[in-house]
Amino acid sequence: MIRFGTSGWRAVIADEFTFANVRRVTQAICEYLRAVDPNEPKTLIVGYDTRFLGEQFAKQAIEVASTAGFQALLCDRPTPTPTISHAIRARHAAGAINFTASHNPPEYSGMKFSTADGAPALPEATKRVEELVISDEVRKETGRSESLKGEFESYDPRSTYIADLATKVRFDIIARAGHRYAYDPLWGTGRGYLDYSLREQGIQVETIHDWRDVMFGGRSPEPSDSHLDELREVVKKQGCALGLATDGDGDRFGVLDADGAFISPNNLIALLFDYLAESRGWTGGVARSVATSHLVDRVAKDRNRPVYETPVGFKFIGELINQDKIILGGEESAGLSIRGHYPEKDGILACLLAAEAVAARGASLTEQLEALYKRVGRLEGDRIGVRLTPEILASLPEKLSREPEEIGGRRVTRINRIDGVKFIFANNSWLLMRPSGTEPLVRIYAESESKQDLEVLLEQGRKYLLD
């Protein structure tokens, strides 16, 4: 069974992720889009990242879409997810399919489906696509498209996306600071985007891993602390103000400060919300997923702004961006977008805004965070993953439906079930357990006011799940 998770359908190449399944999913997406407005001519954009067979999978989708009557636009190079989001709007397309497994290991591929607003398709849309995949109509049409060769147009979305970035980021402020930066695209689609945008403004950038490697150096293309040692070395050796990184499809960010310290996504989201509220003069609130740090809430309270809590999955934050309710939305998994941008996470934008904040405030990110902590207090957060064994899978519904009065001696004051189960305790610490939407894991998230208590809380969460 083909199932869409928090960010599309992902599977192992040549196992479930096959040409036949790609054609079926594409046909189902086409059927869904035609049903939305049967009489309107439709354009479908198809992109891909740097993974193995990316172009070939994309061409299969193009053939199906073209045979189904769509004007099919095939991106002419590996393309970041946020660039495709911008392209949907620029070309007034009905939607897009992007072949990427984002930060997953190299043996995976995936299909991200975005709708006409540039946002990831909402659950009601992907549920309908899942139903269509196994329908007789899709089987019949997929068989027909296999014997036809559809026409398509090669499409370059890069220049318009980069031009749009210049309307969101204050490159003049970054340039005046005269800093040097290091960038690691992790062999992914961000190369030639983030670094190019800075160099065009005369800003010095040292780029590493600036070539295609379908194995991503033998690991997941995830810009986490443990994957950025080579970038850290360049930052220190060359005296860079920041080390910037993006994941395989450019929608997630990783940032190192000048001393090589990793700035957690939770902290950067809160810091950039504070910076934008201060520098842009925008009204509006902030959105965070249920798994994201409550440091955001403290900044919002300090600035008298509303907070919107969403399930995990950027599509829910994207809805609030479309409604112009927020100035920034973020997820602890390194997803971020801002007012006036697209309803899709953009790691390239996040990195550039971090550079702008450092340049504008004349202080490192660590210094800015310390100043923020003095205003609103410090919080420490982290997450762990527990592999889904058959035993855990069988007991999970019962474990997540419990309503305990205390866990590990901590009194539960509130239970939040917006996504998984989140226990909020009397001392303002919290613990969240939810199945991953992209991997066979149960994720346990926790936050407290000290690192020592955070470690204890995570272990209490693991024990609660396994006992």
Residue 167 lies in a domain: no
369, 370, 374, 376: CA torsion to nearest 10? 20
Residue 123 lies in a domain: yes
- Same domain, residue pair 192 and 296: yes
What's the pLDDT band for 59 if we cut at 50, 70, 90?
very high
- Same domain, residue pair 196 and 338: yes
Amino acid letter, 174: I
Residue 430's domain spans which residues? Answer: 380-466
What's the pLDDT band for 148 if we cut at 50, 70, 90?
low
- Same domain, residue pair 219 and 274: yes
We report the CATH number of the domain holding residue 344 as: 3.40.120.10
- Same domain, residue pair 371 and 389: no
Average pLDDT value for the chain: 94
Residue 135 lies in a domain: yes
6-36 confidence digits (pLDDT tens): 789 999 999 999 999 999 999 999 999 999 8
Residue 268 lies in a domain: yes
- Same domain, residue pair 385 and 368: no
What pLDDT was estimated at residue 391? 84
- Same domain, residue pair 203 and 248: yes
Say how far apart CA 403 and CA 414 lie, in whole Å.
10
We report the CATH number of the domain holding residue 420 as: 3.30.310.50
Number of H helices, E strands in the chain: 16, 21
How many structural domains compose the chain?
A: 3
Residue 166 lies in a domain: no
Of 376, 401, 432, the position where a domain reaches its end is 376
Say how far apart CA 96 and CA 44 lie, in whole Å.
5
Say how far apart CA 98 and CA 81 lie, in whole Å.
7
What pLDDT was estimated at residue 51? 97
Overall average pLDDT of the 324-350 stretch: 97
- Same domain, residue pair 267 and 397: no
Between 283 and 329, the higher pLDDT residue: 329
431-445 confidence digits (pLDDT tens): 999 988 767 789 999
Overall average pLDDT of the 247-263 stretch: 98
Helix (H/G/I), strand (E/B), else coil: 343: coil
Of 320, 352, 376, the position where a domain reaches its end is 376
Which tokens hold the place of 138? Answer: 């899709």
Of 333, 360, 376, the position where a domain reaches its end is 376
DSSP codes joined into one string, 407-433? ETTEEEEEEE-SSSEEEEETTS-EEEE
Say how far apart CA 156 and CA 73 lie, in whole Å.
9
What pLDDT was estimated at residue 243? 98
What pLDDT was estimated at residue 352? 98
What's the pLDDT band for 390 if we cut at 50, 70, 90?
confident
- Same domain, residue pair 384 and 372: no
- Same domain, residue pair 246 and 369: yes
Please state, for a pLDDT cut of 70, what percent of the chain lies above it. 98
What's the pLDDT band for 5 if we cut at 50, 70, 90?
confident
Residue 172 lies in a domain: no
- Same domain, residue pair 141 and 217: no
DSSP codes joined into one string, 87-120? HHHHTT-SEEEEE--TTS-TTEEEEEEEETTSSB
Which tokens hold the place of 318? Answer: 């994207």
- Same domain, residue pair 349 and 404: no
- Same domain, residue pair 194 and 331: yes
Residue 67 lies in a domain: yes
Residue 197 lies in a domain: yes
